[in-house]
Protein backbone atom coordinates (compact mmCIF):
# COMPACT_ATOMS: atom_id res chain seq x y z
CA UNK A 1 0.00 0.00 0.00
CA UNK A 2 1.23 3.49 -0.84
CA UNK A 3 0.69 5.47 2.35
CA UNK A 4 1.72 8.71 0.64
CA UNK A 5 -1.46 8.46 -1.45
CA UNK A 6 -3.39 9.00 1.80
CA UNK A 7 -1.46 12.07 3.01
CA UNK A 8 -2.58 15.44 1.70
CA UNK A 9 -0.16 18.35 1.52
CA UNK A 10 -1.83 21.66 2.33
CA UNK A 11 0.24 24.70 1.29
CA UNK A 12 0.50 27.71 3.60
CA UNK A 13 -1.19 26.08 6.58
CA UNK A 14 -1.23 27.09 9.39
CA UNK A 15 0.89 29.98 8.09
CA UNK A 16 2.65 31.06 4.91
CA UNK A 17 5.56 28.89 3.86
CA UNK A 18 4.41 25.74 5.70
CA UNK A 19 3.56 22.66 3.65
CA UNK A 20 1.26 20.93 6.16
CA UNK A 21 1.02 17.13 5.99
CA UNK A 22 -2.62 16.25 6.67
CA UNK A 23 -2.94 12.73 8.09
CA UNK A 24 -6.73 12.77 8.39
CA UNK A 25 -7.34 11.07 5.00
CA UNK A 26 -5.09 8.22 6.14
CA UNK A 27 -6.84 7.67 9.47
CA UNK A 28 -10.23 7.98 7.74
CA UNK A 29 -9.31 5.06 5.47
CA UNK A 30 -9.47 1.84 7.53
CA UNK A 31 -7.12 -0.11 5.26
CA UNK A 32 -4.46 2.62 5.19
CA UNK A 33 -4.74 3.18 8.95
CA UNK A 34 -4.52 -0.55 9.60
CA UNK A 35 -1.47 -0.85 7.34
CA UNK A 36 0.34 2.08 9.03
CA UNK A 37 -0.50 0.70 12.47
CA UNK A 38 0.87 -2.72 11.51
CA UNK A 39 4.14 -1.21 10.26
CA UNK A 40 4.61 0.78 13.47
CA UNK A 41 3.62 -2.29 15.53
CA UNK A 42 6.20 -4.43 13.74
CA UNK A 43 8.89 -1.88 14.66
CA UNK A 44 7.80 -1.78 18.32
CA UNK A 45 7.64 -5.60 18.46
CA UNK A 46 11.16 -5.84 16.99
CA UNK A 47 12.32 -3.52 19.81
CA UNK A 48 10.57 -5.78 22.38
CA UNK A 49 8.53 -2.89 23.76
CA UNK A 50 6.92 -3.32 27.17
CA UNK A 51 5.14 0.01 26.83
CA UNK A 52 4.13 2.51 24.15
CA UNK A 53 4.30 6.23 24.92
CA UNK A 54 2.67 8.85 22.69
CA UNK A 55 2.71 12.65 22.89
CA UNK A 56 -0.45 14.73 22.83
CA UNK A 57 -2.44 14.47 20.61
CA UNK A 58 -1.62 12.66 17.39
CA UNK A 59 0.75 10.32 19.21
CA UNK A 60 -2.43 9.00 20.86
CA UNK A 61 -3.95 8.24 17.45
CA UNK A 62 -1.07 6.00 16.38
CA UNK A 63 0.32 4.86 19.73
CA UNK A 64 -2.88 3.42 21.17
CA UNK A 65 -3.59 0.92 18.35
CA UNK A 66 0.09 -0.09 18.37
CA UNK A 67 -0.12 -0.83 22.10
CA UNK A 68 -3.35 -2.81 21.64
CA UNK A 69 -1.87 -4.83 18.78
CA UNK A 70 1.17 -5.72 20.91
CA UNK A 71 -0.80 -6.35 24.10
CA UNK A 72 1.15 -3.74 26.06
CA UNK A 73 0.12 -0.55 27.87
CA UNK A 74 -0.08 2.94 26.45
CA UNK A 75 0.99 6.05 28.38
CA UNK A 76 -0.07 9.50 27.15
CA UNK A 77 2.25 12.49 27.37
CA UNK A 78 0.14 15.62 27.79
CA UNK A 79 0.32 19.33 28.24
CA UNK A 80 0.75 20.39 31.90
CA UNK A 81 -2.41 20.52 33.97
CA UNK A 82 -4.17 17.77 31.99
CA UNK A 83 -3.16 14.80 34.16
CA UNK A 84 -4.72 14.41 37.62
CA UNK A 85 -2.04 12.43 39.50
CA UNK A 86 1.59 13.20 40.36
CA UNK A 87 3.46 14.11 37.18
CA UNK A 88 6.91 14.71 35.83
CA UNK A 89 7.21 17.75 33.55
CA UNK A 90 9.76 18.69 30.91
CA UNK A 91 10.06 22.01 29.08
CA UNK A 92 11.42 22.43 25.58
CA UNK A 93 12.09 25.22 23.10
CA UNK A 94 9.83 26.12 20.21
CA UNK A 95 10.56 28.46 17.30
CA UNK A 96 8.52 31.13 19.04
CA UNK A 97 8.95 30.35 22.75
CA UNK A 98 8.72 27.40 25.09
CA UNK A 99 6.32 24.54 25.78
CA UNK A 100 6.08 21.80 28.37
CA UNK A 101 4.90 18.20 28.52
CA UNK A 102 3.91 16.01 31.46
CA UNK A 103 3.47 12.33 32.21
CA UNK A 104 2.06 10.49 35.22
CA UNK A 105 5.11 9.58 37.28
CA UNK A 106 3.80 6.14 38.29
CA UNK A 107 2.77 4.97 34.81
CA UNK A 108 6.28 4.18 33.59
CA UNK A 109 8.08 1.53 35.61
CA UNK A 110 11.83 1.38 36.14
CA UNK A 111 13.46 -0.69 33.42
CA UNK A 112 10.47 -0.84 31.07
CA UNK A 113 11.38 -0.97 27.38
CA UNK A 114 9.56 1.99 25.85
CA UNK A 115 8.84 2.78 22.22
CA UNK A 116 7.63 6.31 21.54
CA UNK A 117 5.13 6.61 18.69
CA UNK A 118 4.06 9.89 17.06
CA UNK A 119 2.66 11.04 13.75
CA UNK A 120 5.42 13.39 12.62
CA UNK A 121 9.10 14.08 13.18
CA UNK A 122 9.98 17.69 12.35
CA UNK A 123 12.62 19.42 14.50
CA UNK A 124 12.32 16.84 17.28
CA UNK A 125 11.65 19.07 20.29
CA UNK A 126 8.49 17.27 21.39
CA UNK A 127 10.13 13.87 21.14
CA UNK A 128 13.28 15.02 22.91
CA UNK A 129 11.12 16.20 25.84
CA UNK A 130 9.19 12.91 25.74
CA UNK A 131 12.44 10.91 25.91
CA UNK A 132 13.55 12.95 28.93
CA UNK A 133 10.23 12.27 30.67
CA UNK A 134 10.44 8.52 30.02
CA UNK A 135 14.01 8.40 31.30
CA UNK A 136 13.21 10.53 34.39
CA UNK A 137 10.50 8.00 35.22
CA UNK A 138 13.01 5.13 34.90
CA UNK A 139 12.01 3.77 31.49
CA UNK A 140 14.44 2.84 28.72
CA UNK A 141 13.63 4.28 25.30
CA UNK A 142 14.40 1.46 22.85
CA UNK A 143 12.89 3.04 19.74
CA UNK A 144 11.00 5.96 18.26
CA UNK A 145 8.47 5.45 15.47
CA UNK A 146 6.78 7.98 13.20
CA UNK A 147 4.28 7.93 10.40
CA UNK A 148 6.03 10.89 8.71
CA UNK A 149 9.51 12.40 8.88
CA UNK A 150 10.32 15.81 7.42
CA UNK A 151 13.97 15.10 6.57
CA UNK A 152 14.92 18.69 5.72
CA UNK A 153 14.28 19.73 9.35
CA UNK A 154 16.90 17.21 10.56
CA UNK A 155 15.02 16.12 13.68
CA UNK A 156 16.48 12.62 13.39
CA UNK A 157 19.95 14.00 14.17
CA UNK A 158 18.81 14.74 17.74
CA UNK A 159 18.29 11.02 18.35
CA UNK A 160 21.60 9.39 17.41
CA UNK A 161 21.43 7.14 20.48
CA UNK A 162 17.97 5.78 19.61
CA UNK A 163 16.63 3.68 16.75
CA UNK A 164 14.30 5.87 14.66
CA UNK A 165 11.81 4.39 12.21
CA UNK A 166 9.72 6.53 9.86
CA UNK A 167 7.15 5.06 7.47
CA UNK A 168 7.22 8.07 5.13
CA UNK A 169 10.01 10.55 4.53
CA UNK A 170 9.43 13.88 2.82
Q: How far apart are CA 64 and CA 80, in angstroms?
A: 20
Question: CA torsion 8→14→18→21, rounded to 10°?
Answer: -20
Residue 128 is among the residues annotated as catalytic for this protein: no
Ordered DSSP codes for 20-36: EEE-HHHHHSHHHHHHH
Residue of 85, 86, 95, 98 marked active site: 95
Q: How far apart are CA 165 and CA 140, in angstroms?
A: 17
Residue 58 is among the residues annotated as catalytic for this protein: yes
Q: How far apart are CA 165 and CA 143, in angstroms?
A: 8
Q: How far apart are CA 25 and CA 154, in angstroms?
A: 26
Residue of 58, 78, 113, 158 marked active site: 58
Q: At 136, which helix (H) or strand (E)?
A: helix 125-136
Q: How far apart are CA 64 and CA 164, in angstroms?
A: 19
Residues with a catalytic annotation lie at 58, 95
Amino acid sequence: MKLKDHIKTIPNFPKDGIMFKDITPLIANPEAFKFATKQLSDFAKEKEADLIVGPDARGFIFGTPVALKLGVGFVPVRKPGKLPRETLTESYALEYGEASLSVHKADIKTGQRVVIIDDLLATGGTIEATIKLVEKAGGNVVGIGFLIELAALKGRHRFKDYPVHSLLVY
